[in-house]
Structure 1
Amino acid sequence: MQLLKTQTPNFNDKIDQFDGSIFLNVGRQIQRISLKSIEYVKGYGDYMKVRCKEGSHTVHITMKNLQKILPSADFYRVHKSYIIRIDKIQKVSSSHVEVNEAQIPISRNNKQELLSLIPWVK
């Protein structure tokens, strides 16, 4: 007897299937959140505050696991407690990044790599 292997779609295929959205545990519900609406994520231990243009959601997930889920082409971890959406950056200074008027700290180690990801003229 030969078993047929079914291919399970990878996570990025699932995101594409749902028009660039992910589902996260928000309170006692599983809520659909568009990746394009996410501005930044702030970590509080095993909880994350996902800031979107329509408001914020508190999600029970670790920063490490959320970072694995979010597409690295669109999101960057600028600090141990923050992940930002790269195309939402408004300003970069020596110690922080501004995303929709929020001052987000940036670690010295991550600043150079972040600068390499954005189009800027020296």
Structure 2
Amino acid sequence: MQVLKTETPNIKDRIDQFEGSIFLNVGRQIQRVSLNSIEYIKGYGDYMKVKCQDKSHTVHITMKNLLRVLPSSDFYRIHKSYIIRLDKIENLSSSHVQINETNIPISRNNKQELLSLIPLVK
């Protein structure tokens, strides 16, 4: 008798399956959040505030674990406490990025890499 092994899909495959959404434990509920609606994420220790276009969600998860499920082509850790969605950047200064009227600090170490990720016309 032959046993068929089925592979468990990784988290990236599951995100594609749910059309660009992730599910977050928000309080006593599991909330579906569209990746396109996320503007930025702010870390507070083991809690993250996921700021979306229409509301915010506070989630008990580490930044490292959250970064594992977010597509690196769309999201970037700009500072030790912030992850941003690259296509939500409205303007950039020497020390901050502005997303929807919120100024988010850029760490000195990440500024050059951030500049290489955006389509900068010189």
Q: What do the CA deviations read for 1:7-52 (whole angstroms, capped 9, x no partner)?
A: 1112111111111000010011110000000000000000000000
CA distance in 2, matches of 1:42, 1:14: 24
The ranges of structure 1 where at least 4 consecutive aligned residues each deviate by more than 4 angstroms after the TM superposition are: none
Partner of 1:40: 40
Question: How many correspondences in the alignment?
Answer: 122
CA distance in 1, matches of 2:2, 2:71: 37
Q: What do the CA deviations read for 1:57-102 (whole angstroms, capped 9, x no partner)?
A: 0000001100111100000000000000000001111111001110
- The runs of 5 or more residues in structure 1 that have no matched partner are none
Partner of 1:50: 50
- The runs of 5 or more residues in structure 2 that have no matched partner are none
CA distance in 2, matches of 1:62, 1:50: 12
Give the letter aligned to residue 120 of structure 1: L
Give the letter aligned to residue 14 of structure 2: K
**Normalising to structure 2: TM-score of the pair?**
0.97
Question: Identical aligned pairs, as a percentage?
Answer: 78
Secondary structure of 1:13's partner?
helix
CA distance in 2, matches of 1:11, 1:46: 20
